[in-house]
Amino acid sequence: MYRMDRQLVRFYRTAENYLRYAPGHEGRTRELSRFYQRYRRYFGRSVLDLACGGGILGRVLERTRRTYVGVDANPDMLREARKSLSTRQSGQRFFKGDISTVRIGGRFDTVTLLGNALGHLNVEEMDELLHHRRSNVHPGSTFLLEYRDVVEMLWKRVWTPVYVQTHKRGKVISRTRFVDFSKGRIHIQAKPARGNWTVEYTQALWSPFILDQVMKSGGWTAVSRSTNRVSSVGGADAFSRVGVYRYRGT
């Protein structure tokens, strides 16, 4: 689950580079700037950014004078977000907690879940998230989700079973161990090219037709679906899906 345990914190400190989601990362800042320009018509005056990472989207939105609240369970990323806030005056706020269950005050015009953060949640957990976030939306609110169409990647055999990332600490090799269709997860093991640690993590199985059904059951209607280019790992990950939904109430 997305509930941040020591293993997932360790994953972002070792197998991933959490600084890639920090405000100072130029590549991710450009990506989210382009994302906002492309989907700006769906952004209301108040934005709730789930799995906000280092709050880069907040920096992008700051000049638009929108109200912004970011939520993440990773203390490393939130530290970077708050460090960035300390260098400037801003009304933006950040909260630490499980995005599925944490209590957040207020209602928002727009909710976002970007950067393949949906990959941490399977269908059951996403359903739980929608249930707990009902108090934060109103009829007409929009939800923007960015994710990998993993079902399509498996079907077309473009899922990369072994891929290598290079960080300051060296190369990290991730290998797919097995696919659990009953739980909707791909189990992956990451280990360094040189070193003796290992990290186990999962990627949830998502596709547009699965997400549409989950969102519909939670009171959301599909508005648009498109493909977004990202600078992710491996050629198959160079594109992500973006789904936009509008809350009709339940």
Q: How many CA atoms lie within 13 A of 158 on its CB side?
A: 14
Segment 239-243 mean pLDDT: 89
Please determine, for residue 234, whether its predicted confidence score (pLDDT) is greater than 70.
no
Q: Tell me the backbone φ, ψ of residue 92, rounded to 5 degrees.
A: -70, 150
Please determine, for residue 236, whether its predicted confidence score (pLDDT) is greater than 50.
no
Higher-scoring residue by pLDDT: 101, 112: 112
pLDDT at 167: 73
User: Does the CA dihedral 94-97-98-104 come out positive or negative?
Assistant: negative
Question: 139 in a domain, yes or no?
Answer: yes
Whole-prediction pTM: 0.90
Question: 190 in a domain, yes or no?
Answer: no
User: How many domains does the structure of the chain reveal?
Assistant: 1
Closest C-alpha among 148, 176, 162 to residue 232: 148
Segment 89-114 mean pLDDT: 90
pLDDT at 50: 97
Tokens representing residue 182 in the block: 């009953």
pLDDT tens per residue, range 187-228: 999 888 887 888 888 899 999 999 999 999 999 999 999 987
pLDDT tens per residue, range 128-138: 999 999 999 99
Please determine, for residue 235, whether its predicted confidence score (pLDDT) is greater than 80.
no
The average confidence (pLDDT) of the chain is: 87
pLDDT at 5: 58
Please determine, for residue 127, whether its predicted confidence score (pLDDT) is greater than 90.
yes
Percentage, residues of the chain above pLDDT 90:
54
User: CB neighbours of 95 closer than 8 A, spacing ≥ 6?
Assistant: 69, 70, 71, 102, 104
Question: 174 in a domain, yes or no?
Answer: no
Question: 193 in a domain, yes or no?
Answer: no
pLDDT at 2: 42
Question: 171 in a domain, yes or no?
Answer: no
Question: 186 in a domain, yes or no?
Answer: no
243: pLDDT confidence band, cut at 50, 70 and 90? very high
Question: 69 in a domain, yes or no?
Answer: yes
Tokens representing residue 68 in the block: 């912004």
Question: 157 in a domain, yes or no?
Answer: no
Please determine, for residue 105, whether its predicted confidence score (pLDDT) is greater than 60.
yes
The continuous run of DSSP H or E covering 100 comes out as none
Please determine, for residue 4, whether its predicted confidence score (pLDDT) is greater than 60.
no
The continuous run of DSSP H or E covering 69 comes out as strand 67-72
The one-letter code for the residue type at 69 is: V
In this structure, what CATH number is given to the domain that contains residue 38?
Answer: 3.40.50.150
Owning domain of residue 78: 6-148+207-247
